[in-house]
Amino acid sequence: MKKVGIEAISLYTPRYYLDLKTLAAARGTDAEKYYNGLGQERMAVAPPDEDIVTMSANAVKVALEGIDYREIDTLMLATESGIDQSKAAAIYVHSLVGLPSTCKAFELKQACCSSTAGILSALALVQMNPRKKVVLVASDIARYGLGTPGEPTAGAGAVALVISADPKLVAFDPENGSYTADVMDFWRPNYMDQAMVDGKYSIRVYLKALSESWNEYVKASGREFNDHYRYCYHMPFTRMAEKGHLHLAKYSAPEGISKDMLKDQIYSAQRYNRLTGNLYTGSLYEALTSLLESRDKLDDRRVGMFSYGSGCMGIFFSGVVQKGYRNYLKTDAHRQMLEARIDLPYGDYEDMYKAVLPQDGSDAQTMHYETGLYRLAGISGHKRIYETVGSIADRHNEKTSVDQQQIPREKASQQGRR
Ligand code: CAA
């Protein structure tokens, strides 16, 4: 069987974040609960002129640097923050990035796990025709009610992966194990723009899906716990990865694991997620990006990966990091993007949160905020209007501050998002 896997990977997250110390002060909560109890420091906040399309287009554009667009057979967009019941968000991304008309484009859904379902389909597609490449982009705005327990686990961002028979970063193993069950741990009805969640129950279901899919993976592959050098988990909050890893180790590592081993095996994958919050479909692949871009020496090392989507579906799978992978990473661009972000005061966060597009079909223009290369300009005649606004490098080099932004609170609720 031909080697297939990830040729390129790129992360995009909005220019704004809320420090969870700021949120803790506003909610009268001990910040340690967020920083240590949940393992989150910052959560990315999408301004009203960013959505899953603009975030995806930014991630895809960078992932495709140096790749011939004519080789791209398919663009898949995984999301649970859909913007239309019929038209795929992937079509807008296809157009913004300038992919050829021969490239297919569609959207995928099964909560946070649809990205992995897309990758498995992409692997089959590339196996069938190794000259073809697939771009899978996972993009979401994780959104819970203000003041709810889920709020500190919000976040936003997109991860784009180029899947090909030239896997410069990670070659996937052919085996995987999966688990599907009809449960109501987390969902979002069409009439809501915030998730409904049974938080404690969702953690129990996550852990069950992990052990069940791990068992199937072990049966299929014959591999054991110690056959994986590092582990990456779907991370709604980074402590969830610790809970998951300890759960897995409890019955699959006979000698157990020490605190140091726990840290070694998952810490490097947690760093970026701590700084952006939950990316839903992109969360596992943000963890993989964080691991690959860490100081760990990963050449020829196997990584175990667990993808979880509420509702629910879990998939355990693995891949081997390729020799020389460091030469193909976008580490500097990612660090620069994370460092250049704007720390929001609480009031501005709440204004952005409350700024939703009109729900009655009327036209609206969005205010200009700091974005990447693309922005949502508004809605006209029930159609979403996107525009290209400048080079990402230029924008990341700009020095901006919230004071310079002057986000007008009283007007924000009339401006759009989603
Ligand atoms: N200092 C340090 N730690 C503290 C603390 C303090 N002052 N106060 C509390 N803590 C600790 C608690 O002990 C707890 O740690 P343990 O889990 O190790 O016991 C942790 O902080 C969280 O505290 P609570 O359990 O009291 O938190 P909560 O009830 O307010 O909410 C949550 C936690 C249920 C995860 C909530 O944030 C939530 O509903 N999040 C959204 C749902 C979610 O992320 N579910 C995960 C699985 S589902 C999934 O993975 C799909 C997806 O992407 C959504």
- Give the residue, by CA position, lying nearest to ligand 1 atom 11: 37
Predicted model pTM:
0.94
Q: What spacing in Å lies between the alpha carbon of 401 and ligand 1's midpoint?
A: 31
- Give the residue, by CA position, lying nearest to ligand 1 atom 20: 37
Question: Catalytic residue at 103?
Answer: no
Is 259 buried (19+), middle (13-18) or exposed (0-12) by CB count in 10 A? exposed
pLDDT, one tens digit per residue, over 305-322 is 999 999 999 999 999 999
pLDDT, one tens digit per residue, over 218-242 is 999 999 999 999 999 999 999 999 9
Which member of 7, 80, 151, 293 is catalytic?
A: 80
Atom number, ligand 1, closest to the C-alpha of residue 206: 47
Question: How far is it, in rounded angstroms, from Cα 407 to Cα 348?
Answer: 7
Question: Catalytic residue at 80?
Answer: yes
Is 1 buried (19+), middle (13-18) or exposed (0-12) by CB count in 10 A? exposed
> Which amino acid is residue 243, in one-letter code?
K
pLDDT, one tens digit per residue, over 28-42 is 999 999 999 999 999
Q: What spacing in Å lies between the alpha carbon of 36 and ligand 1's midpoint?
A: 10
DSSP state of 391: -
Q: What spacing in Å lies between the alpha carbon of 134 and ligand 1's midpoint?
A: 36
- What pLDDT, on the 0 to 100 scale, is given for residue 390? 75
- Tell me how far apart the terminal alpha carbons of the chain are, to the nearest angstrom: 43
Question: Catalytic residue at 151?
Answer: no
Q: Which residues line ligand 1 (CB under 6 A)?
A: 30, 32-33, 36-38, 112, 149-150, 153, 185-186, 197, 199-200, 202-203, 206, 234, 236-237, 240, 278, 280, 308, 310
Mean pLDDT by 10 residues, the chain (418 residues): 94 98 98 98 98 98 98 98 97 98 98 98 97 98 97 98 98 98 97 94 98 98 97 98 97 88 97 98 98 97 98 98 98 97 98 92 95 97 94 50 34 37
